[in-house]
Amino acid sequence: MQSISVSDIIVKKAAESRIDQVDFDKLVFGTVFTDHMFECDYINGHWQQPTIRPYGPLTISPAAKVFHYGQAVFEGMKAYKDDQGKVFLFRPDENFNRINKSSERLAIPEFPREYFFGALEELLRMDNDWIKPGLGNSLYIRPFVIASEIGVSASAANQYKFMIILSPAQAYYSGDVSVVIAEKYSRAADGGVGYAKAAGNYGAQFYPTRLAQEQGFQQVIWTDANSHQFLEEAGTMNVFFRVGDKLLTAPTNDRILDGVTRKSLITLAKDAGIDVEVRRVEVSEIVEAAQQGTLKEIFGAGTAAVVSPVKAFSYRGTKYDLPAQESSYAIRFKKALNDIQYNCAPDPYNWRYPIN
């Protein structure tokens, strides 16, 4: 890797901010973007001089390989502002390591750590006013890489574009969520790219999710591709099951994303003295627990919603409603995680990353 420095980043400021045009009380998640973005190209075996410039359209050839062979990976992370105006990231090392792990799986070159963190910190300083304080408010951060080389030969590209864009976000609430357990379609297969945040993973989910929505469900709980006997993820999130007072979740492997929220919740639950089992979870045991009344909660875990409770699930045409819990794990650990993210509580894990 070539010698690099954060001072190499060229900064081109927007002539004027667009922030006054935004109604922060009516944000639609992921549709409004801040004044600046980061861009860096990989050419001739090296990452070139990086740039922060005003947010705007790209000019890219229709023959760029990303459009033909799907070499694209991304990350999702957030910045938070406390009541004193201090800004924090949450476990950004995990996102940096994972985007490079995803890139490796798709034959994309590793991105330099100095550029990643240098770009993030400078972007957040420049667009600081877009980060609103208050529980639920945040700035969603989307780093991504695409293959930009021109050509339609079926081979890995030699040129790439790494970018970071920022989007202000409010508290994410999707309403009461009902899910259907997948019996035919799968999110990922052994030996595939399920563990990577590859763009194609998500594109392939849209059709079976639409079928579920046509039946009155909001999301799909994915099962393993080989037998459809084991529960793996919920929509675009990792998934947890509370049976009695025990918390169950599937282990990460080459089909399941190593979610930052997932591993954080596991740590919080274990430290709270809760019995957490990270193991393969069978559809049959969850259905049996629902029938016996010992299934208390199902919830998804991910960056956008943090924790998304499930009120009901369907399997083989039978719907199972979940009872409301006075001492909900989902609510309890979402609050514990938010308190750390928003600097409202001590951070014994050193998960907060301050932006100075």
* pLDDT given at position 111: 97
What's the predicted TM-score (pTM) here? 0.96
Instruction: Please check whether the domain covering 6-169 is classified as CATH 3.30.470.10.
Output: yes
217 has which bridge partners?
none
Per-residue pLDDT tens for 291-318? 999 999 999 999 999 999 999 999 999 9
* pLDDT given at position 8: 85
Residues of the chain where predicted confidence (pLDDT) is lower than 50: 1
Domain boundaries, the chain: 6-169, 177-341
Report which secondary-structure segment, H or E, holds 244. none
* pLDDT given at position 4: 57
**Which CATH superfamily includes the segment(s) 177-341?**
D-amino Acid Aminotransferase, subunit A, domain 2 (3.20.10.10)
Q: Where are the beta strands (DSSP E) in the chain?
A: 10-11, 36-43, 46-47, 51-54, 72-74, 77-81, 87-90, 138-147, 160-169, 177-181, 219-223, 230-234, 237-243, 246-249, 276-278, 281-282, 295-302, 306-315, 318-321, 352-355
* pLDDT given at position 1: 41
Q: How far apart are CA 348 and CA 329, in angstroms?
A: 20
* pLDDT given at position 171: 83
